[in-house]
Amino acid sequence: MRIKIRTSKWAIWARRLGSVAVPLVLLPVLMHREGFIDAATFLVLILFAGALAALAVLVSLGALIRLWFSGDQGWSRALAGLSLGLACVAPFGWYGALALRNPPVTDIATAPRSELPLIFQPDTAAMPPPLLLSAAEQGRLFPNAATRDYPLDVIQLFALVDRLVRANGWDVRRRSEPLDFSEEGRINARIVTLPGWQDEAVLLVRPTRDGARVDMRSASIGAPIDFGANGQRISQLLTALDSEVTAFLRDNPNISEPVMPDVVPNPEVETGER
């Protein structure tokens, strides 16, 4: 007589939940990045997907425990559900860790925000008010996110800033290049994060008495918090700019020295003896 071994229903449901969680996590992200859904809808969908993924992990663990004691079939189903559930839960764990490690903020700037205006105008009714840090908190958490002064003229410095922005692949929406040593240069660029949130970076290059100065602002549009992205973005770009300026000055050691006009001898001045 052949004994039929049954398949655990827990294992069946574990794989089903894991299989459903994958598209429920990916689709809202893709739709949010392409602009098919707004921020509020995205938050609802992604939180529901995260809850379902967590449920898939719990059911999978329960199935594995029951299989260990019952001897039923379904190990492959339970392990598949666990793998899919963990893959879907992992991004939530990553962003949760970032949220715990960074303060709740959505806007970082190295100068007054009136000098670094945003050009992206979303639906202001749906956009939450910006979360800001005090100057002391910003200096402690992001010490490299600070104004930079360099011994270069504004045209030279703007060229270096513009090259870094394009190297990062940011979508430049407005670019005002200085055509004279007394003019300012400005860049407004759009950045789309992995979950589909839209950020805006503003860079201002202006002349000073001893060279030129760079200020930067990075702000999240519609996101509840930035998970530290804005402060890190400013710190990384300005640190990279430090390296670019250092290399530029090393390769052009006389670039910051004033150019002296050639001395034209006066024929009326007698240089010989009388």
Closest-CA residue to 252 (of 182, 151, 177): 151
* Residue matched to tokens 């715990």: 100
pLDDT tens track for 80-137:
999 999 999 999 999 999 999 999 999 999 999 999 999 876 544 456 678 899 999 9
pTM over 0.85: no
State residue 256's pLDDT score: 53
Find the helix or strand (DSSP H, E) in which 187 lies: strand 185-192
* DSSP letter, residue 125: T
Backbone phi and psi for residue 173, each to the nearest 5 degrees, phi listed first: -100, -25
- State the Cα–Cα distance between residues 10 and 14, nearest whole angstrom: 6
Q: Which residues of 98-132 are buried (b: 16+ CB within 10 A; e: fewer)?
A: eeeebeebbbbbbbeeeebebeeeeeeeeeeeeee
**Residue 6, Cβ density class (10 Å: 0-12 exposed, 13-18 middle, ≥19 buried):** exposed
For residue 257, the model assigns a pLDDT of 52
Q: Which residues of the chain carry a pLDDT beneath 50?
A: 1, 123-125, 258-274
* Amino acid letter for position 148: R
Pick from 145, 139, 131: nearest CA to 103: 131
Q: Residue 133: what pLDDT?
A: 92
pLDDT at 102: 93
Q: Give the pLDDT confidence score for residue 2 in this predicted structure.
A: 53
The tokens for 17 are 């939940």
Long-range contacts of range 189-197, CB-CB < 8 Å, 24 or more positions apart?
189/165, 190/120, 191/233, 192/33, 193/223, 193/229, 194/29, 195/29, 195/32, 195/33, 195/42, 195/46, 196/29, 196/30, 196/31, 196/32, 196/33, 196/34, 196/42, 197/32, 197/39, 197/221, 197/222, 197/223
Q: CA angle 264-267-272, nearest 5°?
A: 110
